[in-house]
């Protein structure tokens, strides 16, 4: 497949950390290497987790890193009409149904799911139970959410970095929420609709979202949105515990390092070393040096551990 458009799609639920930055920079380097256009999308549908001013701060941080994008920023919270139209199409073909299951389950579905979150397969409690959203709301005493009927069959994700991965969505999570009870599109639906509308055909992100790719492939097919994009799912940056970077590993936010005097050149140099450049040697570098040294074949195939040595380098110790 000849890919020509990619997107950087951060969620303004908090400050970007080193792991986020590495994924975005690799996405940017792949784009520049392959001549892709780069779009920017703010995925700000995660309800109460979106902090005031977080989108502006996030975009400023990405500019500080040296990332550039083509055209205006797409903000998901402004695109509710497009998501409603997609939902109507799915309802009309019998692919979506109203659900009155737990509010906690529905709220969790609004965010991007990740491997290892421990979510159990939805048992299909509301599948075929209601004739309409109104009937479901009356029965549950609150507005209904909408779930997608997933097929009980293999779905293969052909990934340009980690090869083919096959999932059975009926067993790996079951029917998933595409619109919450607040009528706000959930992550999977919004991403599919926005990628198709923007012509995105190259998606680069962490490999904790491989299963999400299978869900999005199914959604695209049900909505007759073709062609399917080319995927690049990259191993994450993890802490010494082997888990995704989080507060338990100390403060790895870019804003923290910037407040301590860390330069963009140090951050980019660390990202380069974590991405297979210079034999892993820690050194400062600018974006042009990363572009010169970047080779996708050298990106580590396993998670990269953010260590005390890396932290010390960023702090100039």
Rounded-to-integer distance, Cα 20 and Cα 32, Å: 19
pLDDT tens per residue across span 271-317:
999 999 999 999 999 999 999 999 999 999 999 999 999 999 999 98
In this structure, are residues 170 and 139 in contact, taking their beta carbons and an 8 Å threshold? no
What is the distance between the alpha carbons of residues 5 and 108, in angstroms, rounded to a whole number? 29
Spell 1-26 as b/e; 16+ CB within 10 A means b: eebebbbbbbbbbbbbbbbbbbbbbb
CATH architecture of residue range(s) 5-77+236-314: 3-Layer(aba) Sandwich (3.40)
Q: Give the single-character DSSP code of 208.
A: G
Proportion of the chain above pLDDT 90, given as a percent: 78
Comma-separated ranges of CATH 3.40.50.620 domains in the chain: 5-77+236-314, 79-234
Tell me: cis bond preceding 227? Omega within 30 of 0 counts.
yes
Tell me the CATH class for 79-234.
Answer: alpha beta
Cβ distance 47 to 77 under 8 Å?
A: no
pLDDT value, residue 12: 87
Query: What CA–CA distance (Å, rounded) separates 97 from 179?
Result: 10
Q: Return the number of other C-beta atoms located less than 10 Å from residue 141's C-beta.
A: 7
Instruction: Return the pLDDT at 1.
Output: 44
Question: pTM of the full predicted structure?
Answer: 0.91
Query: What's the confidence (pLDDT) of residue 241?
Result: 87
Q: How far is CA 15 from CA 18, 75, 241, in A?
A: 10, 17, 21
Residues 6+ apart with CB under 8 A from 204: 6, 23, 26, 27, 30, 232, 234
Is-contact 25 268, C-beta < 8 A? yes
Which pLDDT does position 13 carry in this prediction?
79
What is the per-residue pLDDT across 157-202, written as a single tens digit (0 to 9) for each? Answer: 999 999 999 999 999 999 999 999 989 999 999 999 999 999 999 9
Confidence label for 14 from pLDDT (cuts 50, 70 and 90): confident
Query: 43, 191 in Cβ contact below 8 A?
Result: yes
pLDDT tens digits along 108-128: 555 566 655 555 788 889 999
Over residues 125-145, mean pLDDT? 91
């Amino acid at each position: 497949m000849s890919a020509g458009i990619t997107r950087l799609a951060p969620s303004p639920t908090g400050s970007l950390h080193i792991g986020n930055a590495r994924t975005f920079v690799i996405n940017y380097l792949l784009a520049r290497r392959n001549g892709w256009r780069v779009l920017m999308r703010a995925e700000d549908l995660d309800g109460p987790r979106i902090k005031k001013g977080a989108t502006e701060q996030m975009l400023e941080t990405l500019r500080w890193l040296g990332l550039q994008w083509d055209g205006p920023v797409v903000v998901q919270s402004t695109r509710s009409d497009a998501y409603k139209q997609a939902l109507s199409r799915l309802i009309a073909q019998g692919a979506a149904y109203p659900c009155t299951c737990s509010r906690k389950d529905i709220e969790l579905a609004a965010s991007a799911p990740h491997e290892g979150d421990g979510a159990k397969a939805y048992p299909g409690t509301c599948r075929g139970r209601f004739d309409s959203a109104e009937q479901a709301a009356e029965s549950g005493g609150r507005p209904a959410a909408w779930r997608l009927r997933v097929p009980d069959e293999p779905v293969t994700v052909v990934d340009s970095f980690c090869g083919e991965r096959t999932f059975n969505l009926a067993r790996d999570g079951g029917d998933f929420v595409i619109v919450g009870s607040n009528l706000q599109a959930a992550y999977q639906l919004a991403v599919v609709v926005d990628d198709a509308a923007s012509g995105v055909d190259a998606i680069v992100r962490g490999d904790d979202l491989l299963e999400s790719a299978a869900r999005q492939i199914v959604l695209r097919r049900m909505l007759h949105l073709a062609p399917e994009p080319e995927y690049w799912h990259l191993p994450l940056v993890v802490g010494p515990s082997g888990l995704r970077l989080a507060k338990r590993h100390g403060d790895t936010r870019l804003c923290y390092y910037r407040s301590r005097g860390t330069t963009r050149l140090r951050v980019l140099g660390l990202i380069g070393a974590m991405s297979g450049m210079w034999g892993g040697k820690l050194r400062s570098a600018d974006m042009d040096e990363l572009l010169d040294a970047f080779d996708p074949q050298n990106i580590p195939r396993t998670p990269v551990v953010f260590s005390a040595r890396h932290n010390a380098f960023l702090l100039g110790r």
